[in-house]
Amino acid sequence: MGIEVEKKAGFDTESAKEVVKELRASFVAGKTKTYEWRRTQLTAMLKMMDENEPQIVAALTDDLSKPELESSIYEIAMLKNSCKLALKEMKHWMMPKKAKTSLTSFPSSAEIVSDPLGVVLIISAWNYPFLLSLDPVVGAIAAGNAIVLKPSEISPSTASLLAKLVKKYLDCSCIKVVEGAVPETTALLEQKWDKIMYTGNGRIARIVMAAAAKHLTPVVLELGGKSPVIVDSGINLQVATRRIIAGKWGCNNGQACISPDYIITTKDYALELVDSFKCELERFYGKNPLESKDLSRIVNSNHFARLLKLLDEDKVSSKIVYGGERDETNLKIAPTILLDVPQDSLIMNEEIFGPLLPIIMIDKVEDSFDLINYSGAKPLAAYLFTNNKKLKEKFVEKVSAGGLVVNDTTVHLAEPSLPFGGVGESGMGAYHGKFSFDTFSHKKAVLYRSFAGDAAVRYPPYTAGKLRLMRALLGGSIMGIIRALLGWSKP
Amino acid sequence: MEESIAELRETFRTGTTKSVSWRKKQLRALLDLVNENEDSIFQALDQDLGKSRVESYRDEIGIIKKSASYSLSCLDKWMAPKKGELPLLFFPAKAEVMPEPLGVVLIFSSWNFPITVALDPLIGAISAGNTVLLKPSELAPACMSFLTQTIPRYLDNKAIKVIGGGADVGKRLLELKWDKIFFTGSPRVGRLVLTAAAKYLTPVTLELGGKCPAIVDNTLSNPSKAKVTAKRIVGGKWGPCTGQACIAIDYVLVEEKLASTLIETVKKYIKIFYGDNLKELKSISRIVNQLQFQRLVNLLKDPHVAASVVYGGSVDEEKLVIEPTILLDPPLDSEIMNEEIFGPLLPIITLKNIEESIEFINSKPNPLVIYAFTENETFKKRILSETSSGSVTFNDSMVQFLCDSLPFGGVGQSGFGRYHGKYSFDTFSHEKSVLHRAFYPELEPRYPPWTNFKLAFLKLAYALDYFGLILLMSGFRKS
């Protein structure tokens, strides 16, 4: 009867279709392909960070109670580096690479050209919501694509800040942020993308890949796993402990894909290790770690409940040797160490993603490799602390994981010359540095031939003589070719 | 079946396939297999597809020999870790990327190049140190039988297995967990493979197809270049398995005024290469089976399409042979212009201006290859930057397949992933990054409790601002 009800527009399949249509038109028009466009976007991203650092830190505090230093360094500074590197190297990355040609296709020249893939979808995670959203975007921009970014709804302040900032600083006709949860993500996944990059867990990854399969869309999956730390004796225990703590509780309080998940050490060394942890943890976080400002909180009550379930399991709760305190109101769990948990406990069978650190004991340190390889899923990272050269060699040779670090934890993430990605359950594909550019490109092979040099041997009617010559040509040796021409080789 | 796979997994676990000597031994054995069984291979290819010896050597036997020899000569280099460069901040440290095998891989091969498309990926999988199950296509039964019988005689049975059977076997294989799946075939089955792989998060390489166009510009006005162009088009259409190839020329784009020149020259070479008529057809494969034969015959059933035939069109159902056929401007909405032909029918589409070919190609899904016969550098650049395809070849057809230094693979609907040469090794490897650090020196600012000084320090460190760091440390810079 004329009463207008204002309906809040939900982002549904139609909306998703519209977004993809618009981006595809922009891509086809060539907007994203020019060097200037790419450079402008990356420069704008740097400006965005310079002008909004306090707001970004505030959003991360809101979402995760992330300590300011972690936000400034592990999210903002890392992203700035990524932009700067792309800006510096992009021209070089975009240049075609010459490829060698052989006698078989003489005369010819060949090169490999990097083409953008087109319209790509980036679905990011909640634990490093700023970095894991924009770092892939840097690669996608550098490679010349149009982009939809879907940040995680579990870190809503950062998601909405991203939507605001991207709209303000970047080219909206080519780069869009879509906020939302399962329905919105599902609508996006129904569309045809030229590539999808997903950072998160294995369960959702399977849904993403199955959706991608319908359109034959290639995917990059950055997942996780139980990243083990093997601790040998005869090392500088204090340094090792500090580095493990920095990688575990210093990285979003254990809520990071490459956080040390559990420790493997020998029976003889375990107690010394536990003492060292107790000492350093107190030094870093004080006697009341629940009150320390230098630890992120648990992201939400779901994960809080999940972690308590791991901690309070009967066969596990008696194994706590340090910590265990919790504050439900503020969603905090103190750094907790457990010693000698059973292999069949919950905590040893799912990725912890939190401030609980189980220590497993074995007889000989070499036994740890089989333990890791038989755990059923290849982790994203694996760490070893040792001074034993042979052990290092065996570790590198035998342990399969996305990446390995010896005598430290997590720092390989900051090195752009190393590809960052998983294998098996921990994911597929890699990025960072030039690997980001490559992952969002199609490497197109181009062969240039001339009209001269047309060998009759290629064409029918086929004769024994042609077969002889064909053998020699494919064999690639000049002597072989000469012999064939003279009729001296077998037909 | 489950037992075979369990054995492959167990063999992989023992580490046998990781050693360089095992890999080289298998590659040499594969060379022996091909060298000592050439006649059987010729026979099987003749039986399955009517391929002549030269075509079989050029497209199958020769390729495998070349690929295996190349891998043997490069394997040590490929297996070596790649050093990474680290900034001073990390000193002292060492970074490298180590290729390691993925584990147990599944290779599905297609029926049109039943030896090459089975053994070439196998070479890659072996070089990378994996255990392998190969499932050849049952639509080339003589070759499948050859492979199932011969491979066990030459290669390590515990690590490399071949399984025969039809689509039901393929389906069962896809229900199991693999560390990689390599599939060559149609987009329809490609989707099924990828959907199955998603359950286990198995990485996949899909080598599919598409309608590979050949653009021909006014180089046709030059008689000697027109001859070479026509030969290469004819060779690139009917040469590989009578057009049943993912990289075969599907259709040709040419300017109206040059169409008749092209058609006449192409006709001439069809006759020289393959014979004047259906009865005298030689040096050309046949259609693989009744199903494909019917499919191709049906493409010509549409009266408008039939009316556009300017050469050929005769078929021999008993021998499964279709003569090389040229069509001039069949309707653009006909099936023949919208699905991959994969057979000996060549539509020639005329345009007012050859530059329109770019738009025409872009209106269709990304093909595996775009062929362009032109010497116009500007046009070449436009083709490269304004179209997307697996690869582009200028002024020839098919030869890009022989270049081991060029990645071979598709994009969009023509697939993803690539192989040939080192790309084969890479596609079956995981590139594991390894960073070695030392216990000293220790950077205190890495550790909490956090202070403004530590924040300033880390900001400078991340920016690799060593000078700034020195100033900070010596008190000349406020935190």
pLDDT at B476: 80
Cβ burial, residue A234 (10 Å; 0-12/13-18/19+):
exposed
Nearest chain B Cα distance for residue A8, angstroms: 35
Q: Mean pLDDT across the stretch A318-347?
A: 95
Which of A70, A75, A184, A222 does the annotation list as catalytic?
A222
A110-140 residue pLDDT tens = 999 999 999 999 999 999 999 999 999 999 9
Chain mean pLDDT for chain B: 95
Structure confidence at residue B88 (pLDDT) = 80
Question: Distance between CA atoms of A141 and A41, rounded to whole angstroms?
Answer: 7
Question: Which residues from B are below 8 Å from A194, CB to CB?
Answer: 412
For all residues of chain A together, what is the average pLDDT? 93
pLDDT at A7: 41
Question: Quick one: tokens of A447?
Answer: 């062969």
Token digits of residue B96:
């490298």
Kindly report the number of other CB atoms within 10 A of residue B24's CB atom.
16
- Nearest in space to B395 (alpha carbons), one of B411, B377, B409, B410: B377
A478-485 vs A464-475: helix crossing angle, rounded to 10: 170
Residue B435 belongs to what H/E stretch? Answer: strand B429-437
**Average pLDDT of span B167-194:** 96
More confident residue, A147 or A480: A147
Cβ distance of B66 and A476 shorter than 8 Å = yes
Of A374-378, A456-460, B41-45, B152-156, the least confident: A456-460
Assess whether pLDDT exceeds 50 at residue B146: yes
Mean pLDDT of A251-262: 97
| A222 given a catalytic annotation | yes
Question: Which pLDDT band, with edges at 50, 70 and 90, does B442 fall under?
Answer: confident
Q: What percent of chain A is modeled with pLDDT above 90?
A: 86
Say whether B462 and A77 touch across the interface (CB within 8 A).
yes
Record: contact B392-A458, CB cut-off 8 A? no
* Residue that is written with structure tokens 């979402």 in the block: A63
Q: Can you give the pLDDT at residue B232? A: 95
CB B282 within 8 A of CB B55: no
- Taking one residue from A and the other from B, the number of pairs with CB-CB distance under 8 angstroms is 297
How many Å lie between the alpha carbon of B448 and the closest alpha carbon of chain A? Answer: 5
Q: Judge: A209–B392 Cβ closer than 8 Å, yes or no.
A: no
Residue A302 CB-density burial (10 A; 0-12 exposed, 13-18 middle, 19+ buried): exposed
Are B406 and A286 inside 8 Å of each other by CB?
no
Going by pLDDT thresholds of 50, 70 and 90, the confidence category of residue A487 is low
pLDDT at residue B75 above 90?
Answer: yes
Give CA–CA dist B449/A281, Å, rounded.
10
Which of B246, B255, B323, B340 is flagged as catalytic? B246
Would you state the pLDDT for residue A9? 61
Give the gap in angstroms from C-alpha A274 to the nearest C-alpha of chain B. Answer: 18
Q: Residue A475 and residue B65: Cβ atoms within 8 Å?
A: yes
Residues B108-125 pLDDT 10s: 999 999 999 999 999 999
Q: How many CA atoms lie within 13 A of A15 on its CB side?
A: 16
| In the predicted structure, residue A293 carries a pLDDT above the cut 60 | yes
Closest CA relative to residue A8, chosen from A183, A223, A185, A258: A183
The reply to whether omega before B441 is within 30° of 0 (cis) is yes
SS3 content of chain B, % helix, strand, coil (to 5): 50, 15, 35
Average pLDDT over residues B127-131: 98
* Percent of chain B residues past pLDDT 70, beyond the cut: 100
Smallest CA–CA distance, residue A105 to chain B, in Å, is: 6
Best residue of A417, A432, A438 to probe chain B, by most B CBs closer than 10 Å: A417
Distance CA B393, CA A103 (A): 17
Contact flag A104-B66 (C-beta cutoff 8 Å): yes
Contacts of A417 in chain B (CB under 8 A): 84-86, 95
Query: Over 50: is that where the pLDDT of A409 sits?
Result: yes
Residues A458, B235: C-beta atoms closer than 8 Å: yes
Among the listed residues A328, A161, A462, A215, the one whose alpha carbon sits nearest the alpha carbon of residue B281: A462
CA dist A199 and A202 (Å) reads: 9
Please state the ipTM of this predicted complex.
0.93
Annotate B140-149 with b (16+ C-beta within 10 A) or e (fewer): bbbbbbbbbe
**Lowest-confidence segment of A20-24, A456-460, B256-260 by average pLDDT:** A456-460
Residue A166 has pLDDT above 60, yes or no: yes
The pLDDT assigned to A462 comes to 80
Distance CA A211, CA A364 (A): 45
pLDDT score of A476: 66
Contacts of A462 in chain B (CB under 8 A): 52-55, 283
Token pair 């036997």: residue: B61
* Best to test chain A binding among B432, B436, B464 (most A CBs inside 10 Å): B432
Residue A168 identity (one-letter amino acid): K
pLDDT band, residue A8 (cuts 50/70/90) = very low
Tokens of B37: 């069984």
What pLDDT sits at residue A1?
44
- Given phi > 0 = left and psi -120 to 50 = alpha, else beta, which region is A432? left
Residues B9-42: tens digit of each pLDDT: 999 999 999 999 999 999 999 999 999 999 999 9
Q: State the average pLDDT over residues B413-427.
A: 96
Q: Which of B55, B207, B323, B340 is catalytic?
A: B207
Q: Once rounded to an integer, what is the mean pLDDT over residues B224-249?
A: 95
Closest residue on chain B to A96 (Cα): B384
Interface test with A, best of B51, B174, B406, B453 (most A CBs within 10 A): B406
In this predicted structure, the answer to whether residue A475 has a pLDDT above a threshold of 80 is: no
CA-based angle A101:A103:A107, to the nearest 5?
70
CB B114 within 8 Å of CB B55: no
Sort B109 into a burial class: Cβ within 10 Å, 0-12 / 13-18 / 19+.
buried
pLDDT per residue over B363-388, tens digit each? Answer: 999 999 999 999 999 999 999 999 99
Q: Are B430 and B102 in contact (CB under 8 A)?
A: yes
**DSSP code at position A282:** H
Measure the CA angle with vertex B98, ends A74 and A370; round to 5°: 90
Per-residue pLDDT averaged across A343-359, rounded?
Answer: 96
Q: With an 8 Å Cβ cutoff, are A447 and B201 in contact?
A: no
Query: pLDDT-derived band of residue B150, with 50, 70 and 90 as boundaries?
Result: very high
Backbone angles phi, psi at A357, to 5 degrees: -125, 100
Q: Would you call B95 and A415 a contact, using CB atoms and an 8 Å cutoff?
A: yes
Q: Is the pLDDT of residue A489 over 70?
A: no
**What are the structure tokens assigned to B308, written together?**
């556009």
A424-438, B4-18, B389-403: which has the minimum mean pLDDT? B389-403
Distance of CA A376 to the CA centre of its chain: 20
Per-residue confidence (pLDDT) for residue A2, from 0 to 100: 43
How close, in Å, is residue B62 to chain A by CA atoms? 6
B479: chain A residues, CB-CB within 8 Å: none
Partner residue facing A448 (CB), from B84, B394, B435: B394
Q: Is B235's pLDDT higher than 60?
A: yes
Percentages helix, strand, coil for chain A (3-state, rounded to 5) are 50, 20, 35
Q: Among A390-394, B92-96, B294-298, B327-331, which stretch is predicted with the lowest mean pLDDT?
A: B92-96
**For the residues B291-297, what does the mean pLDDT come to?**
97
CB-CB neighbors (< 8 A) of B201 in chain A: 202, 205-206, 209, 221, 223, 424-425, 427-428
Chain A residues closer than 8 Å to B224 by CB: 451
**CA atoms of A305 and A310, how far apart (whole Å):** 9
| Residue A488: per-residue pLDDT | 66
Tell me if B201 and A214 make a contact (CB, 8 A cut-off): no
